[in-house]
Amino acid sequence: MDYTIVKKYFPEITENQLNQFQSLQPLYEDWNSKINVISRKDMDSFYEHHVLHSLAIAKYFTLLPGMKVMDVGTGGGFPGIPLAIMFPQTNFMLVDSIGKKIKVVQAVAESLGLTNVTAVQERVEKINDKFDVITSRGVTRLPEIAGWVGNKLRIHNDIEAGGILYLKGGDIDQELREVPKNWKRKSTSITKWFAEPFFVEKYVVHLY
Reported pTM: 0.97
38-58 pLDDT, tens digit per residue, is 888 889 999 999 999 999 999
pLDDT at residue 133 is higher than 90? yes
Question: Strand order in 202-207's β-sheet?
Answer: 117-121, 91-96, 68-72, 133-137, 163-169, 202-207, 185-189
145-165 pLDDT, tens digit per residue, is 999 999 999 999 999 999 999
pLDDT at residue 182 is higher than 90? yes
Say yes or no: domain 4-207 is CATH 3.40.50.150.
Answer: yes
Bridge partners of residue 163, in order along the sequence: 133
The residue-averaged pLDDT of 180-204 equals 97
Q: Exposure of 68 by Cβ count < 10 A (0-12 exposed, 13-18 middle, 19+ buried)?
A: middle
| Residue bearing the bigger pLDDT, 35 or 118 | 118
Evaluate whether 24 touches 3 at the Cβ level (below 8 Å): yes
The residue-averaged pLDDT of 165-174 equals 96
Distances (CA, A) of 86 to 29, 93, 173, 181: 21, 15, 30, 33
Q: Which amino acid is at 19?
A: N
The pLDDT value recorded for residue 153 is 97
pLDDT at residue 1 is higher than 90? no
135-144 pLDDT, tens digit per residue, is 999 899 999 9
64-94 pLDDT, tens digit per residue, is 999 999 999 999 999 999 999 999 999 999 9
The C-alpha atoms of residue 166 and residue 204 are separated, in whole angstroms, by: 6
pLDDT at residue 115 is higher than 90? yes
Give the mean pLDDT of the chain.
96
The pLDDT value recorded for residue 40 is 80
Helix (H) or strand (E) holding 20: helix 15-32
